[in-house]
Amino acid sequence: MMLNKMLFFTLFIFAIMYAISTNSLINCWMSMEVNLICFIYIIHMNNNIMKSEISMKYFLINSISSMNFLFLYLYYNINWNTWENLISIKLFYFIMNMILLMKLGMAPFHFWFPSISEGLSWLNMLILSTLQKIIPMMIIFFNVSFLMMLFSLLLSSFVGSWGGLNQTSLRKILAYSSINHMSWMTINLIYNFQIWKLYFILYSFHNLIIMYLLHYLNFNNIYNYFFMKNNNYLKIIFFLNFLSLGGLPPFLGFMMKWITIKMILFKMNMLIFILIMNSLISLYYYVQITYSSMFLNSYFIMNNLFYLKNKSSMINIIITSTISLNLIFIIFY
Protein backbone atom coordinates (compact mmCIF):
# COMPACT_ATOMS: atom_id res chain seq x y z
CA MET A 1 0.00 0.00 0.00
CA MET A 2 2.74 2.46 0.97
CA LEU A 3 4.77 1.46 -2.10
CA ASN A 4 1.81 2.18 -4.38
CA LYS A 5 1.27 5.54 -2.72
CA MET A 6 4.92 6.50 -3.17
CA LEU A 7 4.81 5.36 -6.80
CA PHE A 8 1.77 7.47 -7.62
CA PHE A 9 3.11 10.46 -5.71
CA THR A 10 6.39 10.23 -7.65
CA LEU A 11 4.44 10.10 -10.91
CA PHE A 12 2.40 13.05 -9.67
CA ILE A 13 5.55 15.14 -9.10
CA PHE A 14 7.04 14.00 -12.41
CA ALA A 15 3.92 15.20 -14.27
CA ILE A 16 4.31 18.66 -12.72
CA MET A 17 8.01 18.84 -13.60
CA TYR A 18 7.29 17.71 -17.17
CA ALA A 19 4.62 20.38 -17.60
CA ILE A 20 7.02 23.06 -16.33
CA SER A 21 9.74 21.99 -18.76
CA THR A 22 7.61 21.72 -21.91
CA ASN A 23 6.36 24.50 -24.18
CA SER A 24 3.58 22.50 -25.84
CA LEU A 25 -0.04 22.90 -24.78
CA ILE A 26 -0.89 19.30 -25.62
CA ASN A 27 1.97 18.08 -23.41
CA CYS A 28 0.70 20.28 -20.59
CA TRP A 29 -2.75 18.79 -21.09
CA MET A 30 -1.33 15.28 -20.85
CA SER A 31 0.53 16.24 -17.67
CA MET A 32 -2.67 17.58 -16.14
CA GLU A 33 -4.45 14.30 -16.89
CA VAL A 34 -1.67 12.21 -15.34
CA ASN A 35 -1.74 14.61 -12.41
CA LEU A 36 -5.50 14.14 -12.06
CA ILE A 37 -5.34 10.34 -12.07
CA CYS A 38 -2.55 10.26 -9.51
CA PHE A 39 -4.31 12.69 -7.18
CA ILE A 40 -7.57 10.73 -7.31
CA TYR A 41 -5.65 7.59 -6.41
CA ILE A 42 -3.97 9.42 -3.51
CA ILE A 43 -7.42 10.47 -2.27
CA HIS A 44 -8.59 6.85 -2.35
CA MET A 45 -5.57 5.73 -0.34
CA ASN A 46 -6.93 7.46 2.76
CA ASN A 47 -9.49 5.89 5.07
CA ASN A 48 -12.21 8.46 4.54
CA ILE A 49 -15.92 7.69 4.28
CA MET A 50 -16.33 10.58 1.81
CA LYS A 51 -13.47 9.60 -0.49
CA SER A 52 -15.71 8.17 -3.25
CA GLU A 53 -17.96 11.23 -3.32
CA ILE A 54 -15.04 13.65 -3.21
CA SER A 55 -13.03 11.87 -5.90
CA MET A 56 -16.10 11.70 -8.17
CA LYS A 57 -16.79 15.43 -7.78
CA TYR A 58 -13.16 16.27 -8.41
CA PHE A 59 -13.03 13.96 -11.43
CA LEU A 60 -16.17 15.48 -12.98
CA ILE A 61 -14.97 19.07 -12.54
CA ASN A 62 -11.54 18.36 -13.98
CA SER A 63 -12.74 16.07 -16.76
CA ILE A 64 -15.18 18.74 -17.99
CA SER A 65 -12.48 21.41 -17.97
CA SER A 66 -9.94 19.05 -19.58
CA MET A 67 -12.41 18.09 -22.30
CA ASN A 68 -13.07 21.74 -23.08
CA PHE A 69 -9.34 22.48 -23.03
CA LEU A 70 -8.62 19.70 -25.53
CA PHE A 71 -11.55 20.68 -27.75
CA LEU A 72 -10.41 24.31 -27.81
CA TYR A 73 -6.82 23.31 -28.60
CA LEU A 74 -7.87 20.99 -31.47
CA TYR A 75 -10.32 23.51 -32.88
CA TYR A 76 -7.63 26.19 -32.83
CA ASN A 77 -5.11 23.99 -34.63
CA ILE A 78 -7.58 22.74 -37.23
CA ASN A 79 -8.86 26.24 -38.00
CA TRP A 80 -5.66 28.17 -37.38
CA ASN A 81 -6.08 30.14 -40.64
CA THR A 82 -9.25 31.74 -39.30
CA TRP A 83 -7.62 32.63 -35.97
CA GLU A 84 -4.95 34.91 -37.35
CA ASN A 85 -6.59 38.21 -36.47
CA LEU A 86 -6.02 39.76 -33.05
CA ILE A 87 -9.64 39.48 -31.88
CA SER A 88 -9.73 35.74 -32.50
CA ILE A 89 -6.46 35.17 -30.62
CA LYS A 90 -7.77 37.16 -27.65
CA LEU A 91 -10.95 35.09 -27.70
CA PHE A 92 -8.87 31.90 -27.67
CA TYR A 93 -6.90 33.08 -24.62
CA PHE A 94 -10.08 34.27 -22.92
CA ILE A 95 -11.80 30.87 -23.22
CA MET A 96 -8.65 28.99 -22.25
CA ASN A 97 -8.24 31.09 -19.12
CA MET A 98 -11.86 30.38 -18.18
CA ILE A 99 -11.20 26.65 -18.45
CA LEU A 100 -8.06 26.87 -16.33
CA LEU A 101 -9.81 29.01 -13.72
CA MET A 102 -12.25 26.14 -13.27
CA LYS A 103 -9.32 23.82 -12.55
CA LEU A 104 -7.83 26.33 -10.11
CA GLY A 105 -11.08 26.83 -8.23
CA MET A 106 -10.98 30.59 -8.66
CA ALA A 107 -14.12 32.72 -8.78
CA PRO A 108 -16.56 32.55 -10.50
CA PHE A 109 -15.80 28.81 -10.78
CA HIS A 110 -14.95 28.37 -7.11
CA PHE A 111 -18.06 26.55 -5.82
CA TRP A 112 -16.52 23.08 -5.92
CA PHE A 113 -13.32 24.01 -4.09
CA PRO A 114 -14.58 24.50 -0.47
CA SER A 115 -16.95 21.52 -0.65
CA ILE A 116 -14.25 19.16 -1.92
CA SER A 117 -11.72 20.52 0.58
CA GLU A 118 -14.13 19.69 3.40
CA GLY A 119 -13.90 15.97 2.62
CA LEU A 120 -10.13 15.72 2.13
CA SER A 121 -7.46 14.76 4.62
CA TRP A 122 -5.04 17.52 5.61
CA LEU A 123 -2.26 16.09 3.41
CA ASN A 124 -4.54 15.92 0.38
CA MET A 125 -5.82 19.42 1.03
CA LEU A 126 -2.23 20.65 1.16
CA ILE A 127 -1.64 19.10 -2.27
CA LEU A 128 -4.87 20.58 -3.64
CA SER A 129 -4.01 24.06 -2.33
CA THR A 130 -0.42 24.12 -3.59
CA LEU A 131 0.92 21.53 -6.03
CA GLN A 132 -2.33 21.16 -7.98
CA LYS A 133 -2.21 24.84 -8.91
CA ILE A 134 1.20 24.80 -10.57
CA ILE A 135 0.35 23.42 -14.03
CA PRO A 136 -2.76 25.57 -14.70
CA MET A 137 -0.95 28.71 -13.54
CA MET A 138 2.03 27.94 -15.75
CA ILE A 139 -0.29 27.62 -18.77
CA ILE A 140 -2.00 30.89 -17.85
CA PHE A 141 1.38 32.63 -17.63
CA PHE A 142 2.12 31.81 -21.28
CA ASN A 143 -1.46 32.33 -22.51
CA VAL A 144 -2.86 35.08 -20.34
CA SER A 145 -6.07 36.96 -21.02
CA PHE A 146 -5.71 40.15 -18.99
CA LEU A 147 -9.42 40.98 -19.00
CA MET A 148 -10.51 37.53 -17.82
CA MET A 149 -7.83 37.26 -15.15
CA LEU A 150 -8.50 40.78 -13.85
CA PHE A 151 -12.20 39.98 -13.46
CA SER A 152 -11.44 36.65 -11.79
CA LEU A 153 -8.85 37.96 -9.33
CA LEU A 154 -11.16 40.77 -8.21
CA LEU A 155 -14.04 38.35 -7.71
CA SER A 156 -11.76 35.82 -5.98
CA SER A 157 -10.60 38.52 -3.60
CA PHE A 158 -14.19 39.21 -2.52
CA VAL A 159 -15.24 35.55 -2.41
CA GLY A 160 -12.13 34.44 -0.51
CA SER A 161 -12.48 37.13 2.14
CA TRP A 162 -16.25 37.17 2.69
CA GLY A 163 -16.76 33.44 2.18
CA GLY A 164 -14.56 32.56 5.13
CA LEU A 165 -16.62 34.60 7.58
CA ASN A 166 -18.84 32.65 9.99
CA GLN A 167 -17.18 29.38 9.00
CA THR A 168 -16.34 26.92 11.77
CA SER A 169 -14.68 24.27 9.61
CA LEU A 170 -10.92 24.79 9.41
CA ARG A 171 -10.80 23.16 5.97
CA LYS A 172 -13.35 25.60 4.57
CA ILE A 173 -11.58 28.54 6.19
CA LEU A 174 -8.29 27.53 4.58
CA ALA A 175 -10.07 26.83 1.28
CA TYR A 176 -11.48 30.37 1.16
CA SER A 177 -8.07 31.62 2.25
CA SER A 178 -6.60 29.84 -0.76
CA ILE A 179 -9.10 31.55 -3.06
CA ASN A 180 -8.15 34.93 -1.59
CA HIS A 181 -4.42 34.25 -1.98
CA MET A 182 -5.01 33.18 -5.57
CA SER A 183 -6.03 36.76 -6.36
CA TRP A 184 -2.61 37.98 -5.16
CA MET A 185 -0.79 35.20 -6.97
CA THR A 186 -2.65 35.96 -10.18
CA ILE A 187 -1.64 39.62 -10.21
CA ASN A 188 1.96 38.53 -9.64
CA LEU A 189 1.67 35.99 -12.44
CA ILE A 190 0.53 38.70 -14.84
CA TYR A 191 3.22 41.26 -13.98
CA ASN A 192 6.27 39.43 -12.62
CA PHE A 193 6.87 35.68 -12.76
CA GLN A 194 9.79 35.81 -10.29
CA ILE A 195 7.64 37.46 -7.63
CA TRP A 196 4.93 34.88 -8.29
CA LYS A 197 7.44 32.10 -7.56
CA LEU A 198 8.45 33.75 -4.28
CA TYR A 199 4.81 34.27 -3.28
CA PHE A 200 3.91 30.68 -4.13
CA ILE A 201 6.85 29.24 -2.18
CA LEU A 202 6.08 31.30 0.94
CA TYR A 203 2.37 30.53 0.71
CA SER A 204 3.11 26.82 0.36
CA PHE A 205 5.49 26.99 3.33
CA HIS A 206 2.82 28.49 5.59
CA ASN A 207 0.24 25.96 4.44
CA LEU A 208 2.68 23.11 5.05
CA ILE A 209 3.27 24.11 8.66
CA ILE A 210 -0.38 24.86 9.47
CA MET A 211 -1.81 21.74 7.84
CA TYR A 212 0.89 19.50 9.29
CA LEU A 213 -0.01 20.69 12.78
CA LEU A 214 -3.73 20.32 12.12
CA HIS A 215 -3.11 16.78 10.90
CA TYR A 216 -0.84 16.07 13.86
CA LEU A 217 -3.48 17.24 16.35
CA ASN A 218 -6.47 15.95 14.36
CA PHE A 219 -8.16 19.36 14.45
CA ASN A 220 -11.12 19.90 12.11
CA ASN A 221 -12.95 22.99 13.39
CA ILE A 222 -12.20 26.10 15.39
CA TYR A 223 -13.75 24.62 18.55
CA ASN A 224 -10.85 22.19 18.75
CA TYR A 225 -8.69 25.14 19.78
CA PHE A 226 -10.23 24.95 23.23
CA PHE A 227 -7.87 22.00 23.71
CA MET A 228 -4.82 24.24 23.21
CA LYS A 229 -5.52 26.48 26.18
CA ASN A 230 -2.66 25.20 28.32
CA ASN A 231 -0.18 24.43 25.55
CA ASN A 232 2.03 27.48 24.98
CA TYR A 233 4.07 25.83 22.21
CA LEU A 234 1.08 25.30 19.97
CA LYS A 235 -0.46 28.68 20.75
CA ILE A 236 2.73 30.43 19.61
CA ILE A 237 3.09 28.45 16.39
CA PHE A 238 -0.56 28.81 15.37
CA PHE A 239 -0.61 32.47 16.33
CA LEU A 240 2.48 33.26 14.22
CA ASN A 241 1.50 31.23 11.19
CA PHE A 242 -2.13 32.25 10.93
CA LEU A 243 -1.33 35.94 11.32
CA SER A 244 1.57 35.60 8.87
CA LEU A 245 -0.67 33.81 6.36
CA GLY A 246 -3.15 36.65 6.76
CA GLY A 247 -0.46 39.17 5.83
CA LEU A 248 -0.23 41.04 9.11
CA PRO A 249 2.97 43.11 9.40
CA PRO A 250 5.70 42.60 10.40
CA PHE A 251 5.36 38.85 9.77
CA LEU A 252 6.83 36.99 6.82
CA GLY A 253 3.47 36.70 5.06
CA PHE A 254 3.28 40.49 4.84
CA MET A 255 6.40 40.46 2.66
CA MET A 256 4.52 38.54 -0.04
CA LYS A 257 1.85 41.21 -0.28
CA TRP A 258 4.19 44.16 0.30
CA ILE A 259 6.33 43.23 -2.71
CA THR A 260 3.18 42.93 -4.82
CA ILE A 261 1.94 46.32 -3.60
CA LYS A 262 5.28 47.97 -4.46
CA MET A 263 5.23 46.37 -7.91
CA ILE A 264 1.85 47.69 -9.09
CA LEU A 265 1.17 50.58 -6.71
CA PHE A 266 1.42 53.24 -9.43
CA LYS A 267 -0.14 51.08 -12.15
CA MET A 268 -3.43 49.95 -10.60
CA ASN A 269 -4.16 51.88 -7.42
CA MET A 270 -7.82 50.89 -7.16
CA LEU A 271 -7.02 47.21 -7.63
CA ILE A 272 -4.46 47.30 -4.81
CA PHE A 273 -6.95 49.10 -2.56
CA ILE A 274 -9.58 46.40 -3.15
CA LEU A 275 -7.09 43.58 -2.54
CA ILE A 276 -5.86 45.17 0.69
CA MET A 277 -9.37 45.79 2.05
CA ASN A 278 -10.43 42.22 1.31
CA SER A 279 -7.22 40.92 2.91
CA LEU A 280 -8.15 42.82 6.07
CA ILE A 281 -11.50 41.04 6.08
CA SER A 282 -9.80 37.66 5.66
CA LEU A 283 -7.41 38.60 8.47
CA TYR A 284 -10.45 38.80 10.75
CA TYR A 285 -11.12 35.07 10.65
CA TYR A 286 -7.42 34.32 11.16
CA VAL A 287 -7.60 36.43 14.31
CA GLN A 288 -10.81 34.62 15.25
CA ILE A 289 -8.96 31.30 15.17
CA THR A 290 -6.10 32.53 17.34
CA TYR A 291 -8.55 34.26 19.68
CA SER A 292 -10.34 30.98 20.38
CA SER A 293 -7.07 29.34 21.39
CA MET A 294 -5.80 32.17 23.61
CA PHE A 295 -8.74 33.74 25.43
CA LEU A 296 -11.72 31.40 25.60
CA ASN A 297 -12.54 29.16 28.54
CA SER A 298 -10.73 25.85 28.87
CA TYR A 299 -13.40 23.61 30.32
CA PHE A 300 -13.29 21.40 27.20
CA ILE A 301 -9.64 20.42 27.70
CA MET A 302 -9.01 16.69 27.40
CA ASN A 303 -6.45 14.90 29.52
CA ASN A 304 -4.88 13.04 26.63
CA LEU A 305 -3.76 16.28 24.98
CA PHE A 306 -0.55 16.26 27.00
CA TYR A 307 0.88 13.34 25.09
CA LEU A 308 2.48 16.08 22.98
CA LYS A 309 5.05 16.60 25.70
CA ASN A 310 6.64 13.32 24.68
CA LYS A 311 6.49 14.14 20.98
CA SER A 312 7.48 17.78 20.95
CA SER A 313 10.72 17.61 18.93
CA MET A 314 9.02 18.21 15.59
CA ILE A 315 6.91 20.97 17.12
CA ASN A 316 10.08 22.68 18.39
CA ILE A 317 11.66 22.49 14.94
CA ILE A 318 8.60 24.06 13.32
CA ILE A 319 8.42 26.82 15.92
CA THR A 320 12.11 27.65 15.49
CA SER A 321 11.91 27.78 11.69
CA THR A 322 8.77 29.92 11.73
CA ILE A 323 10.15 32.45 14.22
CA SER A 324 13.45 32.61 12.32
CA LEU A 325 11.79 33.35 8.99
CA ASN A 326 9.57 36.00 10.54
CA LEU A 327 12.59 37.62 12.20
CA ILE A 328 14.42 37.71 8.85
CA PHE A 329 11.62 39.82 7.41
CA ILE A 330 11.53 42.09 10.48
CA ILE A 331 15.28 42.74 10.23
CA PHE A 332 15.55 43.36 6.48
CA TYR A 333 12.28 45.16 5.84
CA atoms within 13 A on the CB side of 131: 21
Q: Evaluate the CA torsion angle 137, 143, 148, 153 in order and state its sign.
A: positive
Per-residue pLDDT at 332 exceeds 70: no
Sign of the four-CA dihedral 103, 197, 119, 280: negative
Residue 304: pLDDT over 60: no
Q: What is the DSSP letter of 119?
A: T
The pTM (predicted TM-score) of the whole model is 0.86
CA gap 53, 74 in Å, rounded:
31
DSSP string, 92-114: HHHHHHHHHHHHHT-TTS-THHH
Counts of helices then strands in the chain (DSSP H, E)? 14, 0
pLDDT per position as a tens digit, 99-114: 999 999 999 999 999 9
> pLDDT grade, residue 16 (50/70/90)?
very high
> In whole angstroms, what is the distance from residue 267 CA to residue 150 CA?
13
Mean pLDDT is lowest, of 54-58, 158-162, 309-313, for: 309-313
Residue 92: per-residue pLDDT: 87
More confident residue, 19 or 222: 19
DSSP 296: S
pLDDT > 70? residue 311:
no
pLDDT tens for 170-179 read: 999 999 999 9
Q: What is the pLDDT of residues 233-270, one digit of tens each?
A: 777 777 788 888 888 887 888 888 999 999 888 788 89
* Cross-strand bridge partners of residue 169: 221
Whether the CA torsion 156, 160, 161, 165 is positive or negative: it is positive
178-237 per-position pLDDT tens digit: 999 999 999 999 999 999 999 999 999 999 989 988 888 888 887 776 666 566 677 777
Please check whether residue 138 is in contact with residue 130, taking contact to mean a CB–CB distance below 8 angstroms. Answer: no
Cα gap 322→122, rounded to integer Å: 20
Q: What is the mean predicted confidence (pLDDT) over 157-180?
A: 92
CB 278 within 8 A of CB 247: no
